[in-house]
Structure 1
Amino acid sequence: MAEYAPPTTAQEFAGNFAQLKPLMSNSEALLESSRCLFCFDAPCIQACPSGIDIPLFIRQINSGNATGAARTIYEANYFGNACGKVCPTEVLCEGSCVYTAAGAKPIEIGRLQSHATRQVMDQGKPLFGPGAATGFRVAVIGAGPAGISCACELRKLGHEVDVFEAKGQPSGLTLYGVAPYKITNEETLAEMAYLEAQFGFRVHYNQPIQSRADLEKLETEYAAIFLGIGLGSTSGLGLPGEDRENCVGAVEFIEQLRIRQEHTAVGRRVVVLGGGNTAMDAASESARLGAERVVLAYRRGKEEMGAYEFEYDLAKAVGVQGLFNVAPLEIVGNGRVEGVKFVRTATRNGQVQPVPGSEFVEPCDMVIKATGQSKQTGFLSFIPDLQLDAKGRILFDPNTGQTTNPRYFAAGDAANGGAEVVNAAADGKAAAHGIHRFLMK
């Protein structure tokens, strides 16, 4: 029996995908902020990839200065509101809270962060503005966390910025790739609008940069180009039957869910292939859409999954079942998915090996492949002298973001191979300073 009834209205969808970190009231924020010990060595700051001064902004909230708290947050991370909701705070700032080491409940840093930033967003309070004009123009490819953070900081430094986005809306995976129970579309777009109004960068939607001719035009019109293109579609497994109807990639499934919401189709019995955080999201989302049975299948043991433990716990809490030490051999069916043929596995000397004679079929009518994303090596090959590593990631100077083609800079998933929103936001901002130094010489 399904844990959730299939949602048919926006209200039912919102109920099934209720926010994991709901917005705090002023009273809740005051009480929670009063628990902070304001540690002088602040391990929470060290754990934050964007280096937010967490004790400072919590103290500001506690003293009634939410605007000051928001400024402290946004000075370090332009995706301050989104990161307060989508960051794996359980293993970053909150996981490093001294209360955790003492076995007590850590400060709810993420919710406090969203509380402060949401207040200035809702009130339209400007915190920043563009710097004195330098006369330089920079093109940013991709309106995700890396690209938008880079654009904000470049405008703060006085450069003109045009952002070119292939899709019709901004924020990259923050909008298209994060589970709806972590952040809503409305919250994501509100933060984008808030940033755009303050800094004045221009975003050109539905304008993909996808050819050498497109790049040549940018090279002619702009002094530097930032690559915030992220990753591509879900990688294929090369399995027989992988092209059957209802065998889909997790990235594509989650994107459709974010766009279509309660109108998203899901199978009655779903098998999710993978052991990472995206697999956990896809499995949990399938259950919340009303699937009667959701099985998470991984080729290694549970303890070897790449997903955070709390993400797996979240999936189990909505009825997802784990199937470990199994490797898919074939997607079976007659046109449509009818099951997955697996073989049981054993790990010997770190290597996954099939157990002979252990094949079986797990019946299902939908398969979601959470097997990683492809690199955009085809597009990157159009950039002269741009070097990639053996895994297809852009080679760049970690101090400046500059690539092996000096006019091009990069950050985010295309450079790091796939990380959190907060990493992309921090690295995009840092790359802006690399671009600034390059332009100003």
Structure 2
Amino acid sequence: MTNSPLTPGIVPSRLPADRIARNFADHTPPLDGHEALVAADRCYFCHDAPCVTACPTSIDIPLFIRQIATGTAESAATTIWTQNILGGMCARVCPTETLCEEVCVREVAEGKPVEIGRLQRFATDRAMARGLHPFVRAPRTGKSVAVVGAGPAGLACAHRLALHGHDVVVYERRAKAGGLNEFGIASYKSTGGFAQAEVDWLLQIGGITIKTGVELGRDITLDGLLSTHDAVFLGIGLGGVNALRAPGEDKAGVTDAVDFIAELRQTTDLTTLPIGRDVVVIGGGMTAVDAAVQSKLLGAENVTIVYRRGQERMSASGYEQDHATSAGVRIICNAAPVAVHGNGAVREVEFGYMADTPAGLQPTGETFRLKADQVFKAIGQTLTGAPDGSTLEGGKIAALPARVWAGGDCTGGGEDLTVTAVAQGRDAAEDIHLALMGVAG
């Protein structure tokens, strides 16, 4: 995404360093001790609490909030981590407004839920700061498992397998572990290097070796892993990005939003990161919102999200949509890209209005153009390098050979969320453990 003669409008330092630092500070500051006690006191500690059912990892939310209320935050953290070993990051990035907090009795009765996410962060942050890792590895079983992908699913799987006494080797194609948590979320949601700190904390269980710069299909094969390990877990995510299928999308200034977010997350000095003056983001999910908001925070003057369906169909939550608009991002719905215009570099994007009919999306015949010197594609990702012997359904892994499991974004059966990936990795580890120990599932 570096500047070039073809993209003169994409430049760094649109804002002074102090302004950028403020813009990318912690979006939701942590609760202090008194605030946590006040927030915990609002919980009714419901029997058969709906918030537990709404949590993909089934954390005992009333229990951990009661533990905070009684001054035992470290115990609360253990309650969280027992179900969700990446509970610290999930407390930062989970769309709690559409999960646990949406069904909170306080939300239903008063329109103001218990702040479950912030309380979860309070407990896990406090326990990590005090060096607590409350898990002891079982005696070694002599079994070895390969985990491909060091994202949320792979890390959750690796930790649970190591906890059971298995030796785990994690193969990661990038230079760092963390996956989506490290490379794929807005910087203001996870500040201070927390993603890597959480990985380092997780590895304290022992028995896990991470090998970076190793890619399935290039450096290793599934057959090779099966010959050296007793089982394999695939948490390979989605490596490809869907095409716009509009003429001109190969022009300079048109970039994948996931690459922009990853570069931003790895840039130590954000004043050096080039950004356009007129930015258009195409898509309607969290990636689109994160790219758009961060463009605005870097100093883009005009940022517009364009989504092909109605706003109610956007996969980004209402809370995130409101956050985008409050940051100065415009959202245009029911419009799809027709062409990218410009002489070598993007200068405008042409869109056609769409109607959502029983026969599917249909163009209305009306078009409009948006000025743009930078365009981010956020229209979904695709699976790349599907392993031999796997069966795909809807572009994701649906069936695998013997001794191979999978979880996270590369599989179907859930939303593409960190918390869902953690649940799938954890549950796969339990299945793998039973299989390795000869216990019928």
Aligned to 2:178: 171
CA shift at 1:120, angstroms? 1.6
Q: Which amino acid aligns with 1:329?
A: V
SS at match of 1:430: helix
Aligned to 1:438: 435
SS at match of 1:328: strand
Alignment of 1:406-417 (within 5 A): 406-416=402-412
| Separation (CA, whole Å) in 2 of partners of 1:221 and 1:7 | 52
CA offsets, 1:269-321, max 9 Å, x none?
Answer: 01111112221111111111110001111222222322211111010001111
Q: Does 1:259 align with 2:288?
A: no
Q: Does 1:427 align with 2:431?
A: no
Alpha-carbon distance change, 437 to 6 in structure 1, aligned in 2, over 3 angstroms: same
Count of residues in Structure 1 that have an aligned counterpart in Structure 2: 423
1:387 paired residue among 366, 391, 397: 391
Alpha-carbon distance change, 21 to 158 in structure 1, aligned in 2, over 3 angstroms: same
Aligned to 1:97: 104
Contact 2:226 2:232 in 1 (8 A): yes
CA shift at 1:354, angstroms? 1.5
2:163 paired residue among 141, 156, 161: 156
- TM-score under structure 1 length normalisation: 0.92
Alignment of 1:182-193 (within 5 A): 182-184=189-191, 186-193=193-200
CA shift at 1:180, angstroms? 1.3
Alpha-carbon distance change, 293 to 212 in structure 1, aligned in 2, over 3 angstroms: closer
1:312 paired residue among 309, 312, 321: 321
Deviates more, 1:200-209 or 1:111-120: 200-209
Alignment of 1:315-330 (within 5 A): 315-330=324-339
| Separation (CA, whole Å) in 2 of partners of 1:132 and 1:69 | 26
Aligned to 2:282: 273
Q: CA RMSD in A?
A: 1.7
Alpha-carbon distance change, 308 to 341 in structure 1, aligned in 2, over 3 angstroms: same
Stretches (4+) displaced over 4 A:
none
Contact 1:233 1:252 in 2 (8 A): no
| Separation (CA, whole Å) in 2 of partners of 1:278 and 1:311 | 11
| Separation (CA, whole Å) in 2 of partners of 1:47 and 1:172 | 24
CA offsets, 1:39-95, max 9 Å, x none?
Answer: 112111011000000010011111111111010000000111001110000111111
Point out where structure 2 has 5 or more consecutive residues left out of the alignment. 1-12
SS at match of 1:115: helix
| Separation (CA, whole Å) in 1 of partners of 2:340 and 2:428 | 43
Q: Which amino acid aligns with 1:375?
A: L
| Separation (CA, whole Å) in 2 of partners of 1:212 and 1:322 | 42
Q: Which amino acid aligns with 1:309?
A: G
CA shift at 1:348, angstroms? 2.7
| Separation (CA, whole Å) in 1 of partners of 2:19 and 2:157 | 37
Aligned to 1:332: 341
Point out where structure 1 has 5 or more consecutive residues left out of the alignment. 397-402
| Separation (CA, whole Å) in 2 of partners of 1:395 and 1:243 | 32
| Separation (CA, whole Å) in 2 of partners of 1:22 and 1:233 | 34
1:364 paired residue among 361, 369, 372: 372
SS at match of 1:359: strand
| Separation (CA, whole Å) in 2 of partners of 1:94 and 1:195 | 27
